Structure 1
């Protein structure tokens, strides 16, 4: 699965034209997915009113990315990344189309939604590393931080637009029409990918000719693991992220229950909360793009982590009569999100060799979210027994404490200084074991 991408064309083609053609299509797809996601979550909330159902839906959406992530990243590093994104967007469109038909036929059941969320998550497990790894090949290194900030801004804008737009769509259109919009926007995302070339990373001849076997695939996954394990700062951040995600992911997945049961709100109030997060993300992204963060980028991340934990804690402590405080706290948590994540993404894209970025980034994502399924599994029953605010208070405290503690961890503070200690790809390959016998090209 290779594109012929002449070196001269890659050098002379303006990177912005190619990159933003793809980026614009993905932005439309994200809008459609955000509208559909809001509508589905609200439908589940109104239909069941169960924290367990919402937690299960989130669990189903996360599991494939946790379990398949490292293997998907290894395959993305070997496959043509443009074709991977086309296939992933096509899978999303197919899943949304099937769900739209079930709503139209009045045959929808909750397990149908779970199944479609599972399919969409599988597509996302391949699409995300393909897009991230392609970005570092299309965008100059000095522009990576700005592009990361732009991506954060896009997600923030979607968080602002999608809740009120989703609530409006629910009041005007039936569910199958909203899901049809998701299909249409996914097709828009595919369109530029049919015409725009994406550079492929240099590969060793043995890798390019090897038949993809389970042994070879596992070798590639171990290569990503070794690279991360040999980078002490990233390894320490992964441990922190795993603990934080164990509590924060369940908390925010239960936001509809917090709004309806604690604040006695409806779709409008849920939209306010989601929009506050989105406005915060946009504001934080703009600040980061103008300010640039501290010279040592990890200090920006840790400061954002403490602030995000404080905002989450305030959401959980807000009394039922202080919905405005919860909205303001949601804004604070959203504001700190890009300040936390943007510098880390830029560090990984700038430092990790392009030929192994797919597997490294998916290993980072999978390991950091590894405890989330356990958190989701117990989130619903615990929230039903102790109240949903428990997760926000606990998650906020843990997030803030982790950020403060990390200021005292040398491996984290010197994450960029120690990047040369990370095992390079060639060395990691040798340590991981010999290649299987070469066969036909993929």
Structure 2
């Protein structure tokens, strides 16, 4: 529910029992937090804009070249599955290493790979296989970057501002999703694909420059050092009690430590009802609802082929026009939902129980609107439901992130987000393995109806867990 780096620094959230002291020192310094938040959000906005434009251009190229569910399945597997697998490492990395670096480095690597793809298109060397490889690398970079970004936010934003900042983050993401398909649709008709790919390179450099200017508060840096020591002790389970954990450089030992971290993070999250609810709710929603949503491009090209729609300010006639309208509808909805959550969320959703109820409601509305997309036979009605689906998605995302940031102990926040990223991004390709082949043998509308109906029990499950007693900031085993 989706799309998209951490210092080894995390600030104890208010009320944490793992912090050595309570009070102002447990949050980042209040001084200058707004500047840090603006730099981070602006950097991510530029990065997301370029990535989204390129992603839409690549996906539309694949859809218009193949028009098959199998090609969409492969594009999803290469574009999503690596993120899920890499996030196994990305979460623990966000708890151990410099989060700023983990935000910036993937952007620079992805920009370099995109340059190579641009050159291949310019020289007529491009192929589906090469595109899939590039999608794989871009997805792997996101597996490192996404847990790091989410873990970095509490380092630079006071705990009381997290829901507002997360909601604004959602608004920026939605605004990018509105601008990106519109720009992509214009660029596809004006310039060759190799030139469009270079947009991502430019925005990545701008985004990295903004993030590089962020100065992490000293309180966060001090907490980071303590957490790194604590995390090392947790991972080195074989080390004697009280013994200093040796530096780990052997790849096998690093792998073992990573899986030990993942195991600790999984056990920690599953003991906490609210963390368990948002993580499993996110994963299951991606499996049964977001996976079919990835087939909206096929639904548009199959069900509305030859159907024009004059909206007054624009006339939807070509395939690229309709694909852009599909993305714009979802993005406008997410923008409206994010703005709503930013405006009223901090007032209405002050506790984790209220935030969990909002997550459950949002998931239920996602299910209902996915059913609506499947049964709609009118293009205008389809686009209206598409907007409502975006609103429902935005209602989920902000509270989900806030619950994970505020209910997780400081040394565990990266692992919690890494676990969420892994399970959510894994749920999507697993769902596609089921739904994409079905879309080639049964009416694609049935796929949407089935996915929407299966989403409703997920909402009920999250609502049930919202009523469970929450331990007082359950401490990590390390």
Picking from 20, 28, 32, the partner of 2:50 is 32
Matching residue of 1:232: 273
Q: Which stretch shifts more, 127-136 or 234-243?
A: 234-243
Picking from 66, 77, 82, the partner of 1:59 is 77
1:273-314 per-residue CA deviation (whole Å, 9 max, x = no partner) reads: 111111111111122222224552211111112112111110
Structure 2 CA distance for aligned equivalents of residues 294 and 90 of structure 1: 37
Q: Do the aligned residues in 2 keep the contact of 1:82 with 1:197 (CA within 8 Å)?
A: no
- After superposition, the CA RMSD in angstroms is 2.3
Shift of 1:72: 1.6
Q: Do the aligned residues in 2 keep the contact of 1:53 with 1:380 (CA within 8 Å)?
A: no
Matching residue of 1:128: 146
Dislocated runs of 4+, deviation >6 Å: 1-5
Change (3 A) 1:154 1:63: same
Structure 2 CA distance for aligned equivalents of residues 138 and 131 of structure 1: 11
Matching residue of 1:49: 67
Give the count of matched residue pairs: 417
Picking from 88, 108, 125, the partner of 1:107 is 125
Aligned pairs (5 A) from 1:194-205: 194-198=212-216, 199-200=220-221, 201=224, 202-203=226-227, 205=229
Aligned pairs (5 A) from 1:87-102: 87-102=105-120
Q: Do the aligned residues in 2 keep the contact of 1:237 with 1:412 (CA within 8 Å)?
A: no
Matching residue of 1:361: 417
Q: Which stretch shifts more, 192-201 or 83-92?
A: 192-201
Q: Do the aligned residues in 2 keep the contact of 1:280 with 1:331 (CA within 8 Å)?
A: yes
1:50-94 per-residue CA deviation (whole Å, 9 max, x = no partner) reads: 121112111111111222212221122111111111211111101
Q: Which runs of 5+ in 2 are unaligned?
A: 1-5, 11-24, 233-244, 249-253, 307-318
Q: Residue 403 in 1 paired to residue 421 in 2?
A: no
Q: Which stretch shifts more, 240-249 or 95-104?
A: 240-249
Matching residue of 2:209: 191
Q: Residue 317 in 1 paired to residue 375 in 2?
A: yes
Q: Which stretch shifts more, 189-198 or 110-119?
A: 189-198
Matching residue of 1:435: none
TM-score (norm 1): 0.88
Picking from 406, 415, 424, the partner of 2:475 is 424
Q: Which stretch shifts more, 16-25 or 169-178?
A: 16-25
1:127-174 per-residue CA deviation (whole Å, 9 max, x = no partner) reads: 111111110111011110001110111121122111121100101111
Matching residue of 1:217: 258
Shift of 1:326: 0.7
Shift of 1:328: 0.7
Picking from 333, 337, 348, the partner of 1:280 is 333
Q: Secondary structure at the match of 1:196?
A: coil
Change (3 A) 1:223 1:279: same
Matching residue of 2:361: 303
Structure 2 CA distance for aligned equivalents of residues 247 and 125 of structure 1: 21
Change (3 A) 1:346 1:406: closer
Matching residue of 1:434: none
Shift of 1:233: 3.3
1:13-49 per-residue CA deviation (whole Å, 9 max, x = no partner) reads: 4011123113212211111111111111111111111
Q: Do the aligned residues in 1 keep the contact of 2:85 with 2:143 (CA within 8 Å)?
A: no
Structure 2 CA distance for aligned equivalents of residues 77 and 43 of structure 1: 38
Structure 2 CA distance for aligned equivalents of residues 3 and 231 of structure 1: 23
Shift of 1:389: 1.7
Q: Do the aligned residues in 2 keep the contact of 1:248 with 1:391 (CA within 8 Å)?
A: no
Picking from 300, 317, 322, the partner of 1:269 is 322
Q: Which runs of 5+ in 1 are unaligned?
A: 430-442
Q: Do the aligned residues in 1 keep the contact of 2:41 with 2:169 (CA within 8 Å)?
A: no
Q: Do the aligned residues in 1 keep the contact of 2:357 with 2:466 (CA within 8 Å)?
A: no
Aligned pairs (5 A) from 1:313-352: 313-319=371-377, 322-352=378-408
Structure 2 CA distance for aligned equivalents of residues 309 and 61 of structure 1: 24
Change (3 A) 1:222 1:105: same
TM-score (norm 2): 0.82
Q: Which stretch shifts more, 305-314 or 365-374?
A: 365-374
Q: Do the aligned residues in 1 keep the contact of 2:87 with 2:143 (CA within 8 Å)?
A: yes
Shift of 1:370: 3.3
Matching residue of 2:294: 253
Matching residue of 1:436: none
Structure 2 CA distance for aligned equivalents of residues 233 and 380 of structure 1: 32
Matching residue of 2:426: 370
Change (3 A) 1:269 1:205: closer
Q: Do the aligned residues in 1 keep the contact of 2:70 with 2:437 (CA within 8 Å)?
A: yes
